[in-house]
C-alpha cells in the first residue's frame, strides 16, 4: 500500500486542505509516524509534521518558531529521495517544495499568514481523501477553535503529569 493511502495520512490531507487545522495535522501524522517500526526523526512524515507546525506558528504570529520549523521541514523534504519515490507519489511534490520555499520567504520577511493546499496528482489518492473527508467533522476554517486549538483543548492530563514530575524527589 502506498504510505499516502494510510487513513491517518488521508486525515492529514483533509485537515491541511479543507480547514487548515494544522494542529490536527500534527496530531494525526505524529500518531502515524510513531506507528512505524523503528521510526526516526528523518522519516519523510516528519517533514509534513514540521510543515504543519510551522504553519500553525506562522498563523498565530510566532515568526521565529515558524521560520525555524519551516526550514527544518524543507531540509527533511529535500531528503525524501533516500526513501524512494513512494513518498512523492500522488502529490505534486515540486509544487509543495515551491510553496514551502515561498512560505519560508514570506515568514522571513514578516508577511501575513497565507495558506496553500497540498496538490494531489493521483485520482486514487484524491478519491481516498474525499472518502475520508466525508467521514470527518471539521471545525470551520479560520475559526478561533482551529487557530488557537492548543490553547483551548483540555490540558488537565498534561498539567497533572507536569505536577507529578515536579513533586518527584531528585
The residue count of the chain comes to: 170
CB burial of 75-87 (b: ≥16 within 10 Å; e: otherwise) equals ebbeebeeeeeeb
pLDDT of residue 123: 95
Please give the Cα distance from 118 to 18 (Å, whole number).
Answer: 10
- Domains of the chain, earliest start first: 3-167 (1.10.3450.10)
Tell how far CA 28 is from the center of its chain. Answer: 8
Q: What is the DSSP letter of 120?
A: B
pLDDT by 10s per residue, the chain, length 170: 577 789 999 999 999 998 889 989 999 999 999 999 988 898 899 999 999 999 999 999 999 999 999 999 999 998 887 777 777 889 999 999 999 999 999 999 999 999 999 999 999 999 999 999 999 786 546 655 556 555 555 545 555 666 777 777 76
pLDDT at 142: 61
**Distances in Å between the alpha carbon of 76 and those of 36, 68, 135, 144?**
17, 13, 31, 30
Residue 143 pLDDT: 53
pLDDT value at position 156? 56
Distances (CA, A) of 161 to 20, 63, 155, 158, 165: 30, 29, 10, 5, 6
Please give the helix or strand (H or E) that residue 44 lies within, else none.
Answer: helix 44-59
Q: What's the CA gap between 25 and 13, in Å, rounded?
A: 8
- Cβ atoms within 10 Å, residue 3: 16
Amino acid at each position: 500500500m502506498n504510505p499516502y493511502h494510510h487513513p491517518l495520512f488521508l486525515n492529514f490531507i483533509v485537515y491541511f486542505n479543507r480547514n487548515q487545522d494544522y494542529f490536527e495535522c500534527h496530531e494525526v501524522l505524529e500518531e502515524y509516524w510513531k506507528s512505524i517500526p523503528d521510526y526516526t526523526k528523518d522519516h519523510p512524515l516528519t517533514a509534513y509534521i514540521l510543515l504543519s507546525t510551522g504553519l500553525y506558528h506562522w498563523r498565530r504570529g510566532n515568526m521565529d518558531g515558524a521560520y525555524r520549523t519551516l526550514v527544518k521541514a524543507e531540509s527533511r523534504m529535500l531528503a525524501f529521495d533516500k526513501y524512494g519515490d513512494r513518498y512523492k507519489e500522488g502529490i505534486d511534490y515540486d509544487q509543495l517544495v515551491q510553496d514551502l520555499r515561498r512560505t519560508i520567504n514570506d515568514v522571513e520577511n514578516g508577511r501575513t499568514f497565507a495558506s496553500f493546499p497540498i496538490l494531489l496528482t493521483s485520482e486514487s489518492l484524491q478519491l481516498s481523501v474525499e472518502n475520508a473527508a466525508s467521514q470527518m467533522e471539521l471545525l470551520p476554517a479560520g475559526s478561533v477553535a482551529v487557530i488557537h486549538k492548543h490553547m483551548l483543548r483540555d490540558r488537565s492530563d498534561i498539567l497533572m503529569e507536569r505536577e507529578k514530575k515536579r513533586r518527584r524527589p531528585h
